[in-house]
Chains A and B, each alone.
Chain A
Amino acid sequence: MSPHAAHTVAALAGPVLDPVVDLRRMLALHFMVNAFRAGTIVAVLAAVVGWLMVLRRQSFAGHTLAVVSFPGAAAAIWLGVSATAGYFAGSIVAALVIALVPRSAAGRPGSQESAVIGTVQAFALACGALFVSLYGGFLDGITGLLFGSFLGVSDGQVLALGAVAVAVLVVLAAIGRPLLFATVDGPVAAARGVPTRALSVAFLLLLGCTAAEVSQVTGALLVFALLVMPAAAAQQLTARPVVGLALAVGFGLVVVWVSLSVAFWSPWPVGFWVSTFGFALYLGAIGWRAATARYRRRPVRGTGVAGERVRARALSSGAAGA
């Protein structure tokens, strides 16, 4: 039985609302196991890379890299090559294009960058439409490319996703600290000998690979559901880097697992569920932060009087904190 048919049969039967039974029925289908494997890999990768992307204010670049995977995949299908290769080719080429845009000497991402990114994105979408029309008779597939599909993730695809994810995470572990330094405090990092420009190119390439990975589960247009929402929600809740990363990964995993389970029993696309749960999480995080903000605020912003205290402390350095 094809994944489509198997899914239709299962969805028509409906859940019995016993979690153990439903889970067992779902995971008895090999394509569903693969969907969970792929979703898990993608959720972890997207949360980690997304956390840095949100901190670097490069969400627009991330979105474009994801959108560009669509023409890549469409072209691959049209040419009869594997769609996975197409996703990666599209995103990596676009990452290199964006990386070539000169940044202002001061190190801030200039307005020029977003103009170039927007241009690349529009052109890429147009190319995607062209490839789809050249291929012809491919209407079913286009929804999957744009809005995601968990049906028919092959073992080979899971393996490719896993290998790329491990590679990206290993590189990120190696360059993570200088990258964070360059992100938060570019001029000082540069003065300390951190190659900020090279790191920014490297990060765009990692972001491209990640966007291509996520696209294969959520579809090109809904990549943000996993790339931005868990990371942004985590950053609402904490400013600690390690806790933030862990939270983002946790959020990503929960969103993917819940979405896949719900999508399995529903006729609606998985991308919709991932986005909806991600959005709910983000709203919840904002609400939580707003609700707790008033307890965390200090009564006095004690800067004006600080001079004397500063002196006293400077003279008695080494004493435990106030």
Chain B
Amino acid sequence: MAEEVTTGTGPAVRLIDATVRLGGRDIWSHVDLDIDPGTFVAVLGPNGAGKSTLVKAVLGVVPLAGGRLEVLGRPPGEGGRDIGYLPQRRSFDPGMRVRGVDVVRMGADGDRWGLPVPWGAGRRTRDARVDEVIDLVGATAYAGRPIGELSGGEQQRLLIAQALVRHPRLLLLDEPLDSLDLPNQAAVASLIADISREAGITVLIVAHDVNPIASALDGVVYVARGKAVSGTPAEVITTETLSALYGTPIEVLTTSDGRRVVVGQPDAASHHAGAHGHAHDHDHDHGERR
């Protein structure tokens, strides 16, 4: 990657006084943010605060209403090949008769026009890379089965492989732990952390719950009430910062093993109590749909 020389020094993602407006409403405004290359950063905050919108702005799918945004040293939307994206899911239809390995392959060359050359060298390189990422996420055993028949955790691993297949420098993961059970949350979270550390990929992960990923995080972006605050977990996840951000008393407790637990978070508490599942897909990030 030739650009690495020129862009490797700056932040992977930089927002300067950035504002996003959807349907006449400011989702968030005047946000300044730097995400250093190779770091593992979580985007946290209540539902509807604009976490997914932040990811989509970085992707270049949602335009800024003001300010500036640079992704890997370029304007958003031009980083195409260097960005791996895992949208908020969405599980596959149980009747989807396409194999996991096909879904990963689509990440490699699914956006190309025309028919693939069946026995070209490019094909072999691609297949080798596909096998490599499938192995990396530990999905080799079930990658040949129809994706719709796999469990949520298995699907999520294959989708992470799909996002990784092109050697991205920036990985955008929108709620990858959502709809997974606890053991799977921990397993997928540690997988993502390993990938970030070993491959030096910048990872921006949207999460509801900081706990499964807390130990691996280098940074946190908290989005709430139209603003965003960023810093290290120790700086941001504090009683003072979060209370100021939410405008309501929030308490951060530190457990005996050093984890931070957020108590009194306006909507996340009720959210985790139940009535969760797929319903929240729909009421999430109202902005885009208006």
Chain A interface residues (CB < 8 Å from chain B): 55, 57, 104-106, 173-178, 180-181, 184-185, 187-194, 235-236, 238-241, 244, 298, 301-307, 309-311, 313-315, 317-322
User: Closest Cβ of chain B: how far from A170's Cβ, in Å?
Assistant: 10
How far is B99's CA from A194's CA once the two chains are assembled, in angstroms?
21
26 A-B contacts, Cβ less than 8 Å apart? Answer: A55-B98, A57-B93, A106-B281, A176-B115, A177-B113, A177-B114, A184-B98, A184-B103, A188-B85, A188-B106, A188-B107, A191-B83, A192-B85, A193-B111, A236-B97, A298-B141, A303-B153, A303-B187, A304-B183, A306-B153, A306-B184, A309-B138, A311-B190, A314-B136, A314-B191, A322-B135
Given contacts A306-B138, A313-B135, A317-B135, contact A241 B98 (CB under 8 A): yes
Q: In residues 98-136 of chain B, which contact A (Cβ within 8 Å)?
A: 98-99, 102-103, 106-107, 109-116, 131-132, 134-136
Bound state CA distance, A320 and B97, in angstroms? 26
Set of chain B residues within 8 Å of A175, measured between Cβ atoms = 113
Q: Which residues of B contact A194 (CB under 8 A)?
A: 110-111
Chain B residues with Cβ below 8 Å from A106 are 281, 289
Q: In the complex, are the beta carbons of A303 and B154 less than 8 A apart?
A: yes
Query: Given A191-B61, A191-B87, do A313 and B136 touch, yes or no (CB 8 Å)?
Result: yes
**How far apart are B96's CB and chain A's nearest CB, in angstroms?**
7
Cβ-Cβ contact count across A and B, 8 Å cutoff: 145
B146 contact set on A, CB distance < 8 A: 239
Contact A181 B184 (CB under 8 A): no
The number of chain B residues with a CB under 8 A from chain A is 59
- Give chain A's interface secondary structure class: helix
Contact of B241 with A by CB under 8 A = no
Q: Is B162 an interface residue (CB 8 A)?
A: yes
B145 at the interface (CB under 8 A from A): yes
A174, A185, A189, A309 pick with most chain B CB within 10 angstroms? A185
Q: Is the beta-carbon distance between B162 and A188 smaller than 8 angstroms?
A: yes
Given contacts A105-B289, A188-B87, A188-B163, 8 further A-B contacts (CB under 8 A): A55-B96, A55-B97, A106-B289, A191-B85, A191-B87, A303-B151, A310-B190, A322-B141
Name the residue on B nearest A308 (C-beta): B187
> B236 at interface (Cβ–Cβ under 8 A)?
no
Q: A105-B288, A241-B98, A241-B102 are in contact. Are A302 and B141 (CB under 8 A)?
A: yes
Chain A residues whose CB sits within 8 angstroms of the CB of B271 once the complex forms: none
Residue on A nearest B113 in the bound complex, by CB: A174
> How far, in whole Å, are A33 and B202 apart by their CA atoms in the complex?
64
Closest to A176 in B: B115
C-alpha spacing A209/B92, complex, angstroms: 29
CB neighbours (8 Å) of B190 from chain A are 307, 310-311
Q: Which residues of B contact A314 (CB under 8 A)?
A: 136-138, 191, 194-195, 198
The answer to whether A192 and B80 touch across the interface, beta carbons within 8 angstroms, is: yes
Q: Smallest CB–CB gap between A178 and chain B, Å? A: 6
How long is the Cα–Cα vector from A107 to B112 in the complex, in angstroms?
A: 20
Instruction: Please determine whether B111 and A310 come into contact, CB atoms closer than 8 angstroms.
Output: no
Which residue of A has the minimal Cβ distance to B110? A181
Tell me, yes or no, whether B140 is within 8 Å of chain A by CB: yes
User: Which of B80, B141, B147 meets A193, CB within 8 Å?
Assistant: B80
Do A187 and B80 touch across chains, with their CB atoms under 8 A apart? Answer: no
Note all chain A residues with C-beta closer than 8 A to B80.
192-193
A104 to B98, CA, bound (A): 24
Q: Please determine whether B151 and A301 come into contact, CB atoms closer than 8 angstroms.
A: yes
A175 closest partner in B (C-beta): B113
Q: Considering the chains assembled together, what is the distance between the CA atoms of A15 and B219 in angstroms?
A: 81
Question: Chain B residues with Cβ under 8 A from A181's Cβ?
Answer: 106, 110-111
Q: Which residue, of B96, B98, B107, B109, has the highest number of chain A Cβ atoms within 10 A?
A: B98
User: Do B97 and A239 touch (CB < 8 A)?
Assistant: yes
Structural contact, B99 and A240, CB atoms closer than 8 A = yes
CA distance A230 to B163 in the complex (A): 33
**Which residues of A lie under 8 Å from residue B103 when comparing CB positions?**
184-185
Q: What does the 1/0 interface line of B196-227 toward A look like (CB < 8 Å)?
A: 00100000000000000000000000000000
